[in-house]
Amino acid sequence: MTVAAPTEAAALAPAGRGEASTGRLQLEALTKRFRSRPGDVTAVDSVSLDVLPGEFITLLGPSGCGKTTTLRMVAGFEDATSGSILLDGKTIDDMPPQRRPMAMVFQSYALFPHMTVAQNIAYGLKLQRRTKADIAEGMRMAVTSMNLVGLEDRSPHELSGGQQQRVALARALVVQPKVLLFDEPLSNLDAKLRDAMRTEIRRIQKMFGITSIYVTHDQDEAMSMSDRVVVMNKGKVEQVATPGEIYARPASVFVADFIGRANFIETVPESIADGKATVTVLGRRLTVPAHSTVVAGSGDAYLMVRPETVTLSPVTDGGTGLGVVLRSTFHGPSIDYEVETTGGTVTVTEAGKDPRDALAEGTNVDVAIDADRAYLLNRE
């Protein structure tokens, strides 16, 4: 009987990865208050989250929303004021950072400048008092998996930003953590390299199947990399859902406005049945999906309309139409329009349009909303 040699991914994966519960991270009413004058500041307010083994979760939100503080509490760098952190069902609240089976990839990479690539990668293994043979084998597999072959003897300052990022990732993976933490790791890279590294990080995370928590304020990163996104605002969780659900069915006006671009048209829901509401918007009666908290007859409602779900048609029969094109902007793959309507200024995006066919400013247009892709929310 022939036994296949383990792959490099399997060799670097956390011990026990085959067990269904390995790497499950739970936050229970996690709260952090900082002492300040005139009163305490609540940075994280009763955050609860259940991260499944091997899941890639992104904490997303504006500066000061509490995402980084939450990550630091998970890592053990900050003590929670109240609440608990559980890993595989066991509380780790009192466990110091160095004993938590986690690894972090920092924004600044945090590579040791006096060490070579190989020495940086092997550092964590030496702290674990691994044998020389284990260290050499682990380092070799990490270097191969991260496409760093031939760079082992270089110093960090001799590497590009992307290469430094891969070294930091290799150093984190080689210690076989149950949970991998990312603190805005791509913010120091230029846009093109940042896009490439998103793909690389996601590929590697899937390869090793490590539970991952990623912090960013960049919505494109969150939407392109995550299994689920946790949108935070003022220390609280606004919504936890897949990128598609977050974009199409946001839980609040804040989420809809923070993720992508959206038009918000004030309206009154006339009736609600089976999760849909009847509204009159821009002179048309529409039946649209509605959030469960929207109440019929209430004037406190906004119809969220994404720019790409609106269609413009020039009015050529002398009529005034429903809107007037105020401005058009060519972006290469798309054209953006600002259209003045009775419901306010509406932004419209047309993809794949020849710029020579762009609607001229001042053109009267009919404005059609894709009702199935709109979403009715409570006004906040």
Instruction: Over range 215-244, report the average pLDDT.
Output: 95
In the chain, what are the domain boundaries? 8-101+177-248, 261-378
Tens digit of each residue's pLDDT (9 = 90 or more) over 261-281: 999 999 999 999 999 999 999
Among candidates 233, 279, 227, 274, which has minimal Cα distance to 257?
Answer: 233
Sheet with 179-183, strands from edge to edge, namely: 102-105, 179-183, 211-216, 56-60, 228-233, 236-241
CATH of 8-101+177-248, one of 1.20.120.140, 3.50.50.60, 3.40.50.300, 3.40.50.11540: 3.40.50.300
Q: What is d(CA 250, CA 286) in angstroms, rounded to the nearest whole number?
A: 19
Percent of the chain with pLDDT over 90: 58
| 8-101+177-248 shares its CATH topology with 261-378 | no
Instruction: Over range 251-264, report the average pLDDT.
Output: 95
| pLDDT level of residue 377 (50, 70, 90 thresholds) | very high
Instruction: Over range 348-358, report the average pLDDT.
Output: 88
Tens digit of each residue's pLDDT (9 = 90 or more) over 50-102: 999 999 999 999 999 999 999 999 999 999 999 999 999 999 999 999 899 99
| pLDDT level of residue 187 (50, 70, 90 thresholds) | confident
pLDDT at 316 exceeding the cut of 60: yes
pLDDT for residue 5: 36
* CATH code assigned to 261-378: 2.40.50.140
- Name residues whose C-beta falls within 8 Å of residue 371's C-beta, 6 or more positions apart in sequence: 286, 287, 288
Contact present, 75 and 97 (Cβ < 8 Å):
yes
pLDDT for residue 12: 57
pLDDT at 350 exceeding the cut of 70: yes
Contact present, 262 and 256 (Cβ < 8 Å):
yes
